[in-house]
């Protein structure tokens, strides 16, 4: 079977209804309609746990470039990103469709990485995913609640559930900085469900092939994490045991809307921010 046939044959079934598969199409980048302008002030956050004890000028310059790429991908004309002081970025968006979406796009770090499930944990993934899904559902139900005790209790078990999922995966070295391009595409013409098409660079393509060959046919999953948070856990078919999934292309599918797929694709193709930011002010201008 040649590489193209292997790619077309790939179907990875995921426990959360998510899969990774090859793709060859690139849709045009989305554009947002002209509406009111919004200015967003972001503040860089020190994070000793991640080895970030100080915010350097180099970090701020890199963050500025990443955000400029993301905003260009949104198709917003006349937008700008400026460094303010030692640790703030001011983002001006003269024409946007959704201020909430804009906040998410500029605030999220966007670090994607792929982890393989550890040997000996084959029977643990589905159980932990079910618990995780249940807690997520409770989390959504509590969004508008005023019961602070229930919210705090849910937050505590949510963190434990996230950690329980992370504990059964190990790093592979394959990360979002090896992605050459990423686009949001509909699953099929007229579909309301969307997916993210990925293209790896040469190093990423080789690591993707190696990683998928190691877990192919074992029942162990390929964990996909964004900003250290679980996204999905696809399974690789046994037919890829010898060479893995070659060709350097894949698709992440799941319960993505056009907005969520577009956001993730923007973050992936622009690269990850070197430091986390929080929105400290948003107002119209």
Please choose, from the candidates 17, 26, 258, 2, the residue with its C-alpha nearest in 3D space to the C-alpha of residue 133.
Answer: 17
Residue 111 near residue 174, CB atoms below 8 Å: no
Task: Give the 3-state secondary structure of residue 279.
Answer: strand
| Number of residues in the chain | 285
Q: What's the whole-number mean pLDDT along residues 257-261? A: 85
Does the pLDDT at position 233 exceed 90?
Answer: no
Token representation of residue 248: 């350097």
Sheet containing strand 249-256, edge to edge, reads 19-21, 249-256, 194-200, 179-186
Contact, 271 vs 40, CB < 8 A?
no
Q: What is the overall mean pLDDT for the chain?
A: 82
Average pLDDT over residues 49-66: 87
Label residue 101 by pLDDT band (50, 70, 90): low
Question: CA 63 to CA 59: how far, in whole Å?
Answer: 6
Most confident of 17-31, 227-241, 265-279: 227-241
- The distance from CA 193 to its chain's CA centroid, rounded to whole angstroms, is 17
Per-residue pLDDT at 12 exceeds 60: no
Q: Report which DSSP code applies to 253.
A: E
Strand intervals (E) in 72-193: 80-84, 88-93, 112-117, 169-175, 179-186
Dihedral sign of CA atoms 205, 207, 212, 213 in order:
positive
Greatest alpha-carbon span in the chain = 58
Instruction: Please give the pLDDT value at position 163.
Output: 94
Instruction: List for the chain the helix, strand, coil content (%; round to 5).
Output: 35, 30, 35
Residue 175 CB neighbours (<10 A): 17
What is the arithmetic mean of pLDDT over 254-273? 81
Pick 21 or 119 by higher pLDDT.
119
Categorize the per-residue pLDDT at 5 as very low, low, confident or very high, splitting at 50, 70 and 90: very low
Q: Which of 21-30, 32-41, 142-151 has the highest mean predicted lDDT (pLDDT)?
A: 142-151
What letter does residue 54 receive in the DSSP assignment? S
- pLDDT tops 70 at residue 10: no
Least confident of 204-208, 217-221, 226-230: 226-230
Q: What is the pLDDT of residue 15?
A: 36
- Whether residue 221 is predicted with pLDDT greater than 50 in this model: the reply is yes
- Give the best-scoring range by mean pLDDT among 25-39, 47-61, 131-145, 270-284: 131-145
CA angle 202, 224, 160 (to 5 degrees): 150
How does strand 19-21 pair with strand 38-44? unpaired
Q: Which residue has the higher pLDDT, 108 or 208?
A: 208
Q: Which of 43, 44, 57, 41 is nearest to 92 (CA)?
A: 41
Whose structure tokens read 């002081």? 85
Average of pLDDT values for 261-268? 82
**Which is more confident, 29 or 250?**
250
110: pLDDT strictly greater than 80: no
Task: Give the residue-averaged pLDDT of 34-43.
Answer: 77
Q: Model confidence at 3, in pLDDT bands (50, 70, 90)?
A: very low
């Amino acid at each position: 079977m040649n590489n193209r046939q292997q790619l077309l044959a790939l179907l990875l079934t995921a426990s959360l209804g998510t899969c990774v598969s090859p793709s060859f199409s690139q849709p045009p980048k989305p554009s947002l309609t002209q509406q009111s302008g919004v200015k967003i002030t972001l503040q860089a956050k020190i994070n000793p746990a991640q080895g970030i004890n100080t915010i350097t000028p180099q970090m701020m310059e890199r963050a500025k470039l990443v955000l400029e790429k993301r905003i260009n991908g949104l198709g917003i004309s006349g937008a700008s990103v400026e460094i303010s002081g030692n640790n703030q970025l001011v983002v001006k968006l003269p024409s946007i469709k959704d201020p909430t979406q804009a906040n998410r796009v500029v605030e999220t770090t966007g670090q994607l990485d792929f982890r393989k499930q550890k040997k000996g944990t084959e029977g643990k993934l589905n159980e932990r995913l079910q618990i995780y899904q249940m807690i997520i559902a409770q989390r959504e139900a509590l969004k508008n609640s005023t019961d602070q005790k229930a919210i705090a209790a849910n937050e505590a078990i949510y963190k434990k559930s996230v950690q329980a999922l992370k504990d059964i995966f190990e790093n592979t070295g394959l990360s979002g900085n090896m992605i050459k391009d990423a686009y949001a595409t509909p699953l099929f013409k007229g579909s309301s469900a969307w997916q993210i098409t990925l293209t790896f660079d040469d190093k990423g393509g080789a690591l993707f092939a190696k990683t998928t060959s190691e877990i192919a046919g074992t029942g162990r999953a390929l964990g996909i994490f964004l900003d250290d948070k679980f996204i999905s856990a696809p399974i690789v078919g046994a037919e890829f045991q010898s060479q893995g999934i070659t060709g350097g292309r894949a698709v992440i599918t799941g319960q993505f809307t056009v907005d969520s797929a577009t956001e993730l694709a923007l973050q992936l193709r622009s690269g990850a921010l070197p430091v986390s930011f929080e929105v400290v002010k948003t107002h119209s201008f």
